[in-house]
Amino acid sequence: MGSTYTIDLYGTDREALPLVAEMAFNEVDRIDGLMSIYKRESAVSFINRLAARKPVVVEPELFKFLQRCLSFSRESEGAFDITILPLMRVWGFLDDEGRVPSVNELQKVLSRVGYQKLTLNSKQRTIEFEQDGMSLDLGGIAKGYAVDRVVSLLKEYQIERALVSAGGSTLFALGTPPREKAWRVKIRDPVSPRDPNKSALTVRLKNQSLSVAGSYEQSFTIEGVTYSHIMNPRTGRPIDGLLSVAVVTESGLEGDVLDNILFVKGLKESKSYLMRHPTVEAYFFLPVRKSDWRMVNLSSASK
């Protein structure tokens, strides 16, 4: 999943904690083996190779996960779409060699993108692509799912205090640290994200998830124009005019999806969209000048 996972644990059995942590990391590895596009032997890579030629049988956990992905796509009117991999490839984000495709290239690739071109057969538990050249990329949701799975495992072992983080972009705060009322988590400055002395905001979390989508995570600049890896599946072009979006939600999966959806929809469209998600709090970071930004908070109180 291209992320470094970290887990902070508190418990009364000092000897058991390392073993629990090891099991948690093994669970992340298991999910990576299902969903990573960077591993040829993963279940998703197998689907990408064959699903345009014939229906591919999918194991139950992954099939249920794909059903949820399509549900998010329909609910967001295509702002979230797991068929986006051909776009990531044509823009050069998979090989870190950013390029701007021609209009003809983009139109050709867009014919291979669209959740409506996926066929899931619940009875046979199969997936099929309607177009050659289609492929799945679960990067916009898999990290959140893995975080949730780890939290579930920790609860099974009676761990009541933990912070589970997938590269800092999606995390879940279980309970609270000792002698604290909440986990205090800093959101990176969207203009200087790698400066440890700068942060945009500190949020307090208890049994909640924080997910952040930032244009700084992966981008390239050509002729003075910066192109972000966060793509609008409906236009085939990177989103501009927005630095980052952070969301506080009840689960890692929901947060991982919503930060991307809100990034694609933008501030204006997100205001009405969030009416359907009253428990979600969102923070939009917009550029003001080259080295400055402003924040807009959308919450149930502001809606």
In a domain, 165, yes or no: yes
Any domain includes 171? yes
165-192 tens-digit pLDDT: 998 899 999 999 999 999 999 999 999 8
Band the pLDDT of 99: cuts 50, 70, 90.
very high
Those residues whose C-beta lies under 8 Å from the C-beta of residue 57, and which sit 6 or more positions away, are 124, 125, 126
- Render 43-75 in DSSP notation, one character per residue: HHHHHHHHTTTS-EE--HHHHHHHHHHHHHHHH
Give the separation between CA 135 and CA 118, rounded to whole angstroms. 10
CB distance 127 to 55 below 8 Å: yes
The residue segments making up the domain with residue 252 are 160-298
Euclidean distance between CA atoms 246 and 255, whole angstroms: 9
Write the pLDDT tens digit of every residue in 26-35. 999 999 999 9
Q: What angle do CA 64, 69, 74 make, to 5 degrees?
A: 125
Q: What integer pLDDT is reported at residue 194 of this predicted model?
A: 85
- Looking at residue 289, what is its pLDDT? 78
The answer to whether residue 207 sits within a structural domain is: yes
Sign of the torsion formed by the C-alpha atoms of 218, 270, 112 and 124: positive
Q: How many domains does the chain have?
A: 1
Query: Could you give the CA distance from residue 27 to residue 131 in angstroms, rounded to a whole number?
Result: 33
197-230 tens-digit pLDDT: 899 999 999 999 999 999 988 899 998 898 999 9
Whether residue 45 lies inside any domain: the answer is: no
Query: Rounded to 5 degrees, what angle do the CA atoms 47, 67, 137 make?
Result: 45
Q: Is the pLDDT of residue 300 over 70?
A: no
Q: What is the per-residue pLDDT across 50-59, written as a single tens digit (0 to 9) for each?
A: 999 999 999 9
Residue 92 is assigned to a structural domain of this protein: no
Residue 110 located in a structural domain: no
% of residues, the chain, pLDDT over 90: 87
8 A C-beta contact, residue 209 and residue 255? yes
Q: How far is CA 210 from CA 4, 164, 185, in A?
A: 16, 10, 9
Q: What is the side-by-side strand order in the sheet with 118-121?
A: 56-57, 126-129, 118-121
Q: Which two tokens stand for residue 248?
A: 């506080």
Q: What is the pLDDT of residues 271-280, one digit of tens each?
A: 999 999 999 9
Angstrom distance (rounded) from CA 153 to CA 145: 12
CATH classification of the domain holding 206: 3.10.520.10
Q: In which element (H, E) is residue 11 found?
A: none
**Residue 284's closest CA among 239, 238, 231, 244?**
244
> Cβ distance 261 to 228 under 8 Å?
no
CA distance 280 to 259: 11
Tell me, yes or no, whether 242 lies in a domain: yes
Q: Centre a 10 Å sphere on the Cβ of residue 57 and count the other Cβ atoms it contains.
A: 12
Look at the pTM and tell me if it is higher than 0.85. yes
Residue 186 lies in a domain: yes
pLDDT of residue 290: 73
**Residue given tokens 């800092």 in the structure block:** 168
Confidence of residue 291 (pLDDT cuts 50, 70, 90): confident
Instruction: With a cut of 60, say whether residue 303 has pLDDT above it.
Output: no
